Amino acid sequence: MSDDLIRLTATEAVARLRRREVSPLDLIEAAERRIAAVEPALNALPTLCLDRARAHARRLMAGEGREAEGEPGWLGGLPVTIKDLTDVAGVRTTYGSPIFKDHVPDRSHPLVERIERLGGIVIAKSNTPEFGAGGSTFNEVFGRTRNPWNTALTCGGSTGGGSVSVAAGEAWLAHGSDHAGSLRRPGTYCGVVGLRPSPGRVTRGAPNNLFSPLSVQGPMARTVPDVALFLDTMAGWDPLDPLTYDAPATPYAAAVAEAERHRPRRIAFTADFNGALPVDRETRAICAEAVRRFEAAGCAVEEFAPDLGALQEAFLVLRSQHFVVDRELQLKTHRELIKPDIIWNTERGLAATPSRLAWAERERAAWYRRVAAMFARFDVLVTPGAATPAFDVMLRHPESVAGVRLENYMAASMLNAAITLAGCPAIAVPCGFDRYGRPIGLQIAAPPRREEVALCAAALFERLSGLDRLVPVDPRPGTVPPPEAPPTSPARA
């Protein structure tokens, strides 16, 4: 029974909870057994709060705390995991930093309060890189999180623990955050679905970067309908976050249930933004073949991408200013406890001139205008979900992509960061495997505030591919594949 329960989708589990066929305590027990079985190989959920979860479950089963029952996104006692960047009252929350290794907050983040009000039960905190900075999930507090498809490989970052928790069947839904792909790249690496919502769709609480659209909170799950369900749980206005706005009139789960009716008519596809970004050749080939599945559903697919211009440098400038707001004061007091990548990002921001910041904002605005012009012609933009498949778990980031050596830890993220800078929602959905069995995914981006467009396109693709049925997976030991060699000629191979 326990093994059967962890293989339910979140949507199926919530339906059974509503029919009283299972109880929240049944699901917590199933999750606990699965966590005990797989955590030694994965290290995705270093902090458990099962007694707290059972107390919440008993309250729900006694009829308490069910005021939101019937609202979109009601979870009815479904266990979920929360990224360790986000406070859960009474539960150790470290942000992946030695500075906060013993921190236990008194109050939950507003998003956690919302999830719990809508019947989500927090069972664990998921592992993350220090302060969420990095393309591989490791930190000095809890160590490394491993990919269940091949435990020699990374799960990506920064929502690495969350992606592993759903891929391996430790939970049905995972909360995460995304700045430059932190929901999309781990989703791609672990063969699950991760959605970056538009800025303001989901509350970020009250961070110091209160008016920045770069970092957002969002859902992760094994299937597109499950991500839509969890987005309904999360979405809505919050007085603490000035960028938020009301949830849509039509719930996302309802829109996805009719995805066939809302299929995209015209799809733009690019593997590498007209050659501007390095992307592994096999990844390009797999994604180019996968996107053609849409044609079987009557969608037109055309190779097209807006010109990136100088967006890579503009992104680093703007991201570094984000780090100045977040980390400048900590650098003065705890520099020796902060990892080099964060110091580099923050000091880069401190060195930027006002003129450089103005230049980056002009580049971002010009980029958005080009993206808006594209969406006047196309319904969605599809790219690979990541430039390279999962790499060695012992590395901070891939050392090269398509034979091109990377200069810094963010250099492999521009496929995702470009979408971030346009303010668009984007979803990562599995599309296949490379020759070494590593998951490959597509990134599907839609115009700002049109999450339902991205979700419906992803749901249509998921039904055509059937790859959602391959998870959850048992952890698999393996070895690290060799990096892809450079092209043999100047022409792209």
Q: What is the Cα Rg of the chain in Å?
A: 21
The Cα–Cα gap between 73 and 14 comes to 10
Cα atoms in the Cβ-side hemisphere of radius 13 Å centred on 393: 24
Residue 173 pairs with which residues in a beta bridge? 80
Question: DSSP letter string over 328-385?
Answer: HHHHHHHGGGS-HHHHHHHHHHHH--HHHHHHHHHHHHHHHHHHHHHHTT-SEEEEES
Per the prediction, the chain carries an average pLDDT of 97
Residue 485 pLDDT: 81
The Cα–Cα gap between 50 and 170 comes to 13
The DSSP 8-state label assigned to residue 263 in this structure reads -
How remote is the C-alpha of 308 from its chain's centroid? 23
Check if CATH label 2.40.50.1020 holds for domain 2-470.
Answer: no
Burial (CB < 10 A; 0-12, 13-18, 19+), residue 207, is middle
At 79, the amino acid letter reads P
193 close to 227: Cβ distance less than 8 angstroms: yes
| Closest alpha carbon to 181 in 292, 319, 344, 323 | 319
pLDDT in tens, 161-198: 999 999 999 999 999 999 999 999 999 999 999 999 99
Coil/strand/helix, residue 469? helix
CB atoms within 10 A of CB 68: 16
267 close to 382: Cβ distance less than 8 angstroms: yes
Do the bridges between strand 78-83 and strand 173-178 make them parallel or antiparallel, or are there none, so unpaired? parallel
What mean pLDDT comes out for the span 316-338? 97
| Closest alpha carbon to 145 in 202, 53, 81, 88 | 81
168 close to 33: Cβ distance less than 8 angstroms: no
The Cα–Cα gap between 455 and 257 comes to 10
pLDDT above 90 coverage of the chain, percent: 96
pLDDT in tens, 231-289: 999 999 999 999 999 999 999 999 999 999 999 999 999 999 999 999 999 999 999 99
pLDDT reading at 385 higher than 60 = yes
The Cα–Cα gap between 402 and 278 comes to 6
- What pTM, to 2 d.p., does this model score? 0.97
Residue 205 gets the label, from left (phi > 0), alpha (psi -120 to 50) or beta, of: left
The Cα–Cα gap between 412 and 181 comes to 10
The DSSP 8-state label assigned to residue 204 in this structure reads -
The Cα–Cα gap between 113 and 127 comes to 20
User: Taking the C-alpha atoms of 90, 95, 96 and 100 in order, what is their torsion angle to the nearest 10 degrees?
Assistant: -70
pLDDT reading at 153 higher than 90 = yes
Largest CA distance in the chain: 69
Burial (CB < 10 A; 0-12, 13-18, 19+), residue 27, is buried
The Cα–Cα gap between 67 and 169 comes to 29
Residue 491 pLDDT: 40
Map out the domains of the chain as residue ranges.
2-470
Say which range, 113-122, 197-206, 295-304, 400-409, has the weakest mean pLDDT: 400-409
User: Taking the C-alpha atoms of 228, 233, 235 and 238 in order, what is their torsion angle to the nearest 10 degrees?
Assistant: -170
